[in-house]
Amino acid sequence: MADDTDDTDLDASARELVMANWPGASPPAGFAARVAAVAAERRSRRRWLAPTAVACVVAAAALVVGIVVQRRQAARERAAHQLELRRISDAAAADLRGLKQEADRINREIASVQGQLLDAASAAERDRLRLQLQLQQAQLRANADRARAAAARLRDGATRTKHERDTIDLEVDRNNAMGGVQGK
Amino acid sequence: MVARVPTSAELDDLTLARARRGDRDAFRELVERHEVQVFALLGRMLLGRRALVEDLAQETFLRVFTALHRFDPAGPARVGTWILTIATRLALDELKRRAPVATQLPGDLAADTRTDADAERRALGGAIARAVEALTPEQRAAFLLREHHGLEYGEIAEVLSIDLGTVKSRIARARSALRAALVEVKHGG
């Protein structure tokens, strides 16, 4: 059993015997020169590789930065475009609401004129009321045309922004405006 | 005025400084200065596998060259110890990777002479070879660094990255095995 606490070196003769029967190797001739040549060759390769590697890293970094900048620029442009479309859509929706109110007002006036027409006593009065009715119907048609244009702008904006918007009833009650009058 | 002759240590430092700057001749000089020790260590660690010893010796010095800029000459480790550290670790890694192979220590050589002196020499060689082969690579390394290369226990602990107690224990076991081999031959065992 080995004594783990023994730290006495082997005596010289024992060491000599052991080492003589446990030989090491010796370097071959020219070993140092050969190793120095390999080391120098590797060093020159590293010298060439290092700047190349740095250049590759810089190029890759520049590419990445370029892509990031380009994407940010595209995102900014997209956001500005969306904002512009939303502004147009909002304006169109406001126009549409105004036109709808105008159409309601004209419809109410037409209904009133139709009522007066039924009650008119004289032919001259009926002619005047018919003329007034035709004028109001023309106003209503023009209003409806403007409403359709605004609705088209609104739809266009909604499609391009894919933005959910309040739907507005675009139907204009033209029957109410025209009905009954033509037959008179 | 008498020109001051640089001491061996100073010369080593000068060589080292030049080698650190990439001077090929200085590096060759550094290799020449330490190659004998490296081959002695690797040859014994790898039990005479000549081609492998040479490969590992070359790898040792190439690593030295690569890491030379990190070596601090003013630090606690001497250049020689640092180089032996690299060689020892390479040898231990290699021995862990490879399966043991038949060794060619003198005691294993076929006998072709019949004198008593030769027989005794062969017996001694055989006993030491068996004892050496029975050592673990770590015991072998610790023993060689102490008995052949004269490193202090603390330095060996640094080289093998183990504590002082383990170093002493490994060396003691190796010494004990080799003393037993010598006694065996002396008593005709």
List domains and CATH numbers for chain B. Answer: 1-103 (1.10.1740.10), 105-189 (1.10.10.10)
Q: What digits encode the pLDDT tens for the residues A99-153?
A: 889 889 989 998 998 888 888 888 888 899 999 999 999 998 998 898 888 888 7
Q: What is the mean pLDDT of chain A?
A: 81
List the structure tokens of A154.
Answer: 């609104």
List the structure tokens of B183.
Answer: 């006694």
Q: Which residues, including other chains, have CB under 8 Å from residue A30's CB and lie 6 or more apart?
A: none
Mind telling me how many Å the CA of A9 is from chain B's nearest CA? 7
- Contact criterion met (CB < 8 Å) for A32 and B65: no
ipTM surpassing 0.90: no
Q: Which residues, including other chains, have CB under 8 Å from residue B60's CB and lie 6 or more apart?
A: B38, B42, B83, B86, B87, B90
CA dihedral B128, B134, B138, B143 (to 10 degrees): -20
Q: How big is the A-B interface in CB pairs under 8 Å?
A: 124
pTM recorded for the entire structure: 0.59
pLDDT of residue A1: 46
Q: Are B111 and B118 in contact (CB under 8 A)?
A: yes
Calpha distance B37→B40 (Å, rounded): 5
pLDDT(A38) > 50:
yes
CA dihedral A59, A60, A65, A71 (to 10 degrees): 120
Q: What digits encode the pLDDT tens for the residues B107-161?
A: 544 444 456 667 777 777 777 888 888 889 999 999 899 988 889 999 999 999 9
Calpha distance A94→A141 (Å, rounded): 19
- Establish if A50 touches chain B: CB-CB under 8 angstroms: no
Which residue of chain A comes nearest to B168, CA vs CA?
Answer: A7
pLDDT of residue B74: 78
Say how many residues make up chain A.
Answer: 184
pLDDT of residue A11: 76
Q: Are B178 and A9 in contact (CB under 8 A)?
A: no
Calpha distance A142→A119 (Å, rounded): 28
